Amino acid sequence: MTNGWINTVPLSSNTSTLSKKSSRSKRLINPDIYVKDYLKKRALILSLLVSHLHMLVINNICIKH
């Protein structure tokens, strides 16, 4: 697992979060948009959690030696 890979992902308008204001202004919105946005956020949170847990485990092993 490479450290810092998240920093190499370019930001674009497609990665922005969906606001409540924009959802109210458009009555007919495809529900798939919300699913895709949710899955992106979920994947990001899980990857951050995994990298943090990996760092804690490695640091704990190094301290014991």
pLDDT-based confidence at 36, cuts 50/70/90? very high
Q: Estimate to the nearest angstrom the gap between the alpha carbon of 14 and the chain centroid.
A: 13
Res. 12: pLDDT tops 60: no
Among left, alpha and beta (phi > 0; psi -120 to 50; other), residue 4 is: left
Residues 4-14 have a mean pLDDT of: 52
pLDDT of residue 8 exceeding 70: no
* More confident call, 43 vs 60: 43
